[in-house]
């Protein structure tokens, strides 16, 4: 039941409110079941149901990857739940429920930051289709949403569990307060609608292009590269006007890998530079596949050896900013997709297997930190966010700290076909707008491309599986939110409390061993 409720609550479902009761059945079982192995199996069933029911669409890209993600993530999620059950059994329900909240939040932090990171099911993401509920993410980020979900479930569970009338009443009142107060704060914080008319004279606008090129049959076919580029240029020029300052193309819009210091000389990409030179006031930002040569030095862990001349190089899923008479700027995707784009150090021996999924045996190279594209004469300082990176809230804040006043997401969600995957990905972007209070321009190869305002509202879209473009007057917004300045401090508090609980547990073990033996 918990697994199913989590599935039904997840974007893009209309039953988001179920997230506030989804954990109650599992908490009830934890309270009744003393056997750790049996509870482990119950918890595993719940987590497997949740993972399979919300991320099954990975199968469209890779069957083996889907199986690995669903099963692996289910087992990882059981770890904090098992820890909660141990603490509940040893130290009582109150300590156990505290452990449930602390351990789960700590798990989410770890899952955001380790080498097998897959934070797609961070609980705070559940509100992606209801940004009006969580306008306070500008102070807490998604960790605040996760805490809200956990607290609501714990108090509702206690209202069911308590048999005494007075205790039940207190639990019910507490649950109502926990549900109502954040919602009221969100309503109070919700700014006035930031709508902009594209006809506003003199204001800069952005043109977002959605070429709709099949990633399986056409996109990476070298023979079709010229036609793809011409399609992008044609769509762009249909919308560009004298106020256009940024043209945004999707991830790997330039699909043929080229050395980064030779992009301008590459014959197939000459039409791109001709296009930019025809429109000297615009900056073109696009995804591109590139190589970088390190000579005879293996400069990074991901560098591969060229068997022809013995030199080392990295391959990158990159972004590039191009403007007439200005230096080219590159950003190499930092947050890479586990399995397809990178492998943790302890799984490098599986490289040959993952290479069959369209990934690379050694993994892509990556930048160590975010890069903001600042181009002379362009009012937009852009955050070149590539695909998967858009689900990392705290990482996105690093673009803002480097001066970005517009979030630009370049993605290719066509791998998953028309499944909930690409809609979840779009809606998660709305949370980044809340956390940073920045507008978002989103270019998706097959859709859904969109403009999202700083309230998290989608103000313009283009449909899935159709070539299209958007022209929109987007205000560059400066300044930093509390979350941008301070990060996910709720996770930091959870990690501290987890350390306290572990220390208490260790002291109790020592006390039982030494004091108990004397008795």
Angle at CA of residue 503, ends 502 and 508, nearest 5° = 95
pLDDT band at 300 (very low <50, low <70, confident <90, very high): confident
Asked if pLDDT for residue 197 goes beyond 50, the answer is no
Q: What is the DSSP secondary structure assignment for residue 191, as one 8-state letter?
A: P
- CA dist., res. 457 & res. 108, Å (int): 26
Instruction: For residue range 354-372, list pLDDT tens digits in order.
Output: 444 434 445 789 999 999 9
Asked if pLDDT for residue 427 goes beyond 60, the answer is yes
- CA dist., res. 175 & res. 193, Å (int): 31
Q: What pLDDT score was predicted for residue 170? A: 87
What is the rounded (10 degree) CA torsion for 268, 274, 279, 285?
Answer: 20
- CA dist., res. 113 & res. 395, Å (int): 10
Instruction: For residue range 135-168, list pLDDT tens digits in order.
Output: 999 999 999 999 999 999 999 999 988 877 777 8
- CA dist., res. 351 & res. 344, Å (int): 10
What is the pTM assigned to this prediction? 0.92
Three-state DSSP state, 440: strand
Report, as an integer, the average pLDDT of 409-415.
94
pLDDT band at 200 (very low <50, low <70, confident <90, very high): low
Instruction: Tell me if the domain spanning 205-484 has CATH number 3.40.50.300.
Output: no
Q: What pLDDT score was predicted for residue 362? A: 54
- CA dist., res. 300 & res. 312, Å (int): 9
Asked if pLDDT for residue 77 goes beyond 60, the answer is yes
Q: What is the DSSP secondary structure assignment for residue 192, as one 8-state letter?
A: P
Q: How many residues are given for the chain?
A: 519
Three-state DSSP state, 197: coil
Three-state DSSP state, 338: strand
Instruction: For residue range 487-512, list pLDDT tens digits in order.
Output: 999 999 999 999 999 999 999 888 88
Percent of the chain predicted with pLDDT > 90: 76
Report, as an integer, the average pLDDT of 183-191.
88
Kindly list the domain boundaries of the chain, sorted by start residue: 2-190, 205-484
Cα-based distances in Å from 220 to 216, 228, 313, 485 = 8, 10, 21, 40
pLDDT band at 347 (very low <50, low <70, confident <90, very high): low
DSSP output for 416-484: G-SSHHHHHHHHHHHHHHHHHT--EEEEESSS--EEE-TTS-EEEE--TTS-EEEEEE--------HHH
Does residue 491 come out as left (phi exceeding 0), alpha (psi in the -120 to 50 range) or beta?
A: alpha
Report, as an integer, the average pLDDT of 96-105.
97
């Amino acid at each position: 039941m918990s697994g199913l409720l989590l599935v039904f609550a997840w974007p893009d479902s209309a039953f988001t409110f179920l997230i506030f009761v989804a954990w109650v059945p599992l908490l009830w079982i934890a309270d009744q079941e003393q056997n750790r192995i049996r509870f482990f199996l119950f918890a595993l069933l719940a987590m497997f149901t949740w993972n399979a029911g919300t991320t099954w669409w990975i199968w469209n890209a890779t069957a083996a990857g889907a199986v690995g993600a669903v099963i692996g993530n289910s087992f990882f999620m059981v770890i904090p739940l098992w820890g909660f059950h141990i603490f509940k059994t040893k130290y009582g329900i109150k300590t156990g429920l505290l452990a449930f909240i602390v351990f789960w939040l700590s798990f989410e932090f770890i899952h955001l930051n380790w080498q097998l990171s897959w934070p797609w099911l961070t609980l705070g993401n559940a509100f992606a289709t209801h940004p009006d509920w969580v306008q306070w993410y500008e102070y807490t980020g998604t960790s605040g949403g996760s805490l809200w979900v956990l607290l609501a479930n714990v108090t509702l569970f206690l209202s069911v569990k308590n048999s005494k009338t007075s205790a039940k009443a207190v639990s019910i009142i507490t649950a109502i307060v926990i549900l109502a107060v954040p919602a009221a704060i969100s309503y109070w914080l919700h700014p006035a609608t930031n709508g902009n008319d594209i006809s506003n004279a003199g204001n800069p606008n952005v043109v977002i292009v959605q070429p709709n090129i099949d990633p399986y049959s056409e996109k990476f076919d070298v023979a079709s590269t010229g036609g793809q580029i011409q399609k992008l240029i044609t769509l762009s020029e249909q919308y560009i006007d004298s106020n256009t300052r940024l043209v945004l193309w999707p991830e790997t819009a330039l699909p043929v890998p080229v050395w980064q210091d030779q992009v301008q000389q590459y014959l197939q990409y000459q039409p791109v530079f001709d296009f930019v030179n025809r429109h000297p006031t615009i900056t073109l930002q696009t995804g591109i596949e590139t190589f970088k040569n390190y000579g005879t030095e293996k400069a990074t862990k991901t560098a591969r050896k060229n068997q022809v001349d013995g030199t080392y190089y990295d391959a990158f899923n990159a972004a590039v900013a191009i403007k007439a008479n200005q230096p080219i700027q590159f950003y190499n995707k930092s947050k890479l997709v586990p399995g397809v784009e990178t492998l943790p150090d302890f799984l490098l021996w599986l490289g040959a297997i993952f290479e069959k999924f369209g990934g690379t045996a050694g993994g892509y190279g990556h930048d160590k930190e975010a890069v903001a594209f600042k181009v002379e004469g362009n009012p937009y300082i852009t955050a070149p966010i590539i695909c998967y990176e858009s689900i990392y809230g705290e990482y996105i804040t690093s673009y803002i700290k480097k001066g970005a006043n517009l979030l630009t997401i370049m993605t290719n969600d066509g791998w998953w076909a028309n499944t909930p995957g690409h809609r979840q990905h779009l809606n998660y972007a709305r949370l980044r707008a809340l956390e940073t209070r920045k507008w978002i321009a989103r270019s998706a190869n097959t859709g859904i491309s969109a403009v999202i305002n700083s309230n998290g509202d989608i103000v313009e879209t283009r449909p899935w599986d159709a070539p299209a473009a958007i022209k929109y007057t987007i205000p560059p917004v400066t300044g930093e939110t509390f979350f941008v300045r301070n990060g996910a401090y709720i996770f930091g508090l959870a990690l501290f409390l987890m350390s306290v609980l572990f220390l208490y547990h260790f002291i109790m073990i020592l006390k039982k061993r030494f004091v108990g033996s004397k008795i």
